[in-house]
Amino acid sequence: MKKSPVIILATAVALLLVACNSEPQTVEVTRIVNQEIPVTVEVIQEVAVAVTVPVEVPVEVTRLVEVEVVATPTPESVAAEMATPATETEATATSEAAPSEAGQSNEQTAVSSIYTVQSGDNMSLIAAQTGVSIGDIMAANNLTNASILTVGQQLTIPGWDGQIVNNVVSTNPGSVAPPAPTTPAQPPAEAAPTGSNLLANASFEEDWYFFNGVSEWQVPIHWSLAVDEGPNTLTPEEGDVFIRPEVRVVPKSDLPPQEHSMFVLDGNKTIKSFKGGLPIHFAIFTDIPLPAGSYRFTIRFFPDVVSSYQNNQKVWATDPLAAEARIIHNGGGTGWISVTPGQRGSLTYDFTLEEPATVRLGGDFRNRNINENNGWFLDDWSLQQLGSP
C-alpha cells in the first residue's frame, strides 16, 4: 500500500514543531590559531666592576740599615761543611786569620819592632815567631831573597809588638850565614817529651775511608779532612780559586822505589795530597781528649811542589811562598810558615792544659801558586806529654 504525500508532509511538520519546542543547547567551539604575537621581556644583567677606594691604614715601617760586621774565623770552620768544604773565606780565613798565640799581624797594630837575626834563624821561623808574614817582612826590609840572612842582621818587623812565640820550631831552615866566633851561651833546659805517642793512627798505617763519601778523598780512620774551594786571595790574579786536591792513603808498593825514603817516613803507608797545575789548600786534623798537662805536637811532611820537569826529573819550586804549612791547635796554633819544596820538614808545637779537655790538633797546608804539581806527603805525626827538664 502506498503512503499518501499528505501523510508524509504532516509527519514532517509534526517533527519540526517538536524540535522547535525543545530547549536550546550551547556548543563550545575552540579555534586553534597559529599567529606570531610580539612579547616584551625585561632582562636584568649583573656586571662586576673593580673600584679602588683609598683607605688610610696605619702601617709600622722598619728601616733596614747596612752595618759592616767583621767575623773572626777559627779552625772550627776548617772542619765545617766538608762536603761543601770550607771556602777560602772559611778554611783559609781559619788558617790565614788564626795568628800565633803570642803574635799579631801588622793589620792589628801599627807599631814596628826590630828583630836581630840569630844563629839557626830562617825567614820562615822569624815569621812564625813574630806572627808577621814573610812577604811583609821582606817588603819592609827591601829583601829579594828570603833564603839568605846574616847573623846579627837587623830586620824591621812591621806590626810586631816585640813578643816572641817560643814554642815554634822549624826543621826546614833556609840559609843563614855563620856567626863570628863567640863563646856560646848555654841554652835553658827544656822539657823533654816522655811516654808513648798519644795520637790514634799517627802514621796512617790503619784503614781509611772516603771522607763525606767523596771518592777523591781517602782519609785515615780517626782523622778528618777540610778542603778549601774558595777564592785564592793570595795571588794578584782576579778570579783565582783554590781547587780541591785528591787525597790518597798510598802504600810503598804504589810509589817508585827511589821515592820511598822521601815520602814514607814511618811504616808502609803515607798520605798523598796533590793537584797538578792548580793552587790547593787543605787540612788534616783530629779531636783528642787529654788530661791536664803539657804536650808537644809534631807534624812531618814532604812538600812535593814541582815547578817543571826536565828529562823526567823534578825541578822543585823556588818561590819562598810556594809551600806553606801551619799547626792547628783549637782556635789558634802557629802562623803560616814557608817550607822548602823537595825536602823533608816538620813543625813542632808545645801547649799546656790547666784542666782536662778535648783538643783539636792538625796540620794546615797550602800552595798559592800554579805549578806543574802542588803536592804533599804526610806521615809519622806525634803527640807526647812533656816531662820536667
The number of folded domains in the chain is 1
In a domain, 182, yes or no: no
Q: Which of 182-196, 265-279, 352-366 has the lowest mean pLDDT?
A: 182-196
Q: Is the pLDDT of residue 81 over 50?
A: no
Confidence class of residue 21 from pLDDT cuts 50, 70 and 90? low
User: Which of the residue ranges 49-58, 60-69, 158-167, 273-282 would you say has the lowest mean pLDDT?
Assistant: 60-69
Domain that includes residue 268, residue range: 189-386
DSSP 186: P
Q: Where does the pLDDT of residue 27 fall: very low under 50, low under 70, confident under 90, or very high at 90 and above? A: low
Give a yes or no: residue 275 inside a domain: yes
Say what percent of the chain tops pLDDT 90.
44
The CATH number given to whatever domain includes residue 366 is 2.60.120.260
CA distance 161 to 87: 31
**Model confidence pLDDT, tens digit, residues 303-346:** 999 999 998 899 999 999 999 999 999 988 999 999 999 999 99
**266 vs 13, residue with greater confidence:** 266
Please tell me the predicted confidence (pLDDT) of residue 67: 39
13 — pLDDT class (breaks 50, 70, 90)? low
Distance CA 71, CA 215 (A): 33
Strand partners, 274: 246, 375
Q: Could you give the angle at the alpha carbon of 305 between the alpha carbons of 299 and 307, nearest 5°?
A: 165
pLDDT, residue 353, reads: 96
Q: Which distant-in-sequence residues (6+ apart) come within 8 Å of 64 by Cβ? A: none
Report phi then psi at 245, rounded to 5: -85, 165
Q: What is the mean pLDDT of residues 164-191?
A: 51
Q: What average pLDDT does this structure show over 272-280?
A: 93
Closest-CA residue to 109 (of 80, 141, 136, 143) = 136
Q: Which residues contact 261 (CB under 8 A, 6 or more apart)?
A: none
pLDDT for 121: 77
Domain assignment present for residue 37? The answer is no
pLDDT above 90 (res 177): no
Residue 105 has pLDDT above 60, yes or no: no
More confident residue, 43 or 136: 136
The pTM of this model reads 0.56
Residue 43 has pLDDT above 70, yes or no: no
Judged by DSSP in three states, 75 sits in: coil
- CA dihedral angle for residue 96, residue 197, residue 344, residue 351, rounded to 10 degrees: 40
Backbone torsions φ then ψ of 309, nearest 5 degrees: -120, 130
Residue 214, domain member (yes or no): yes
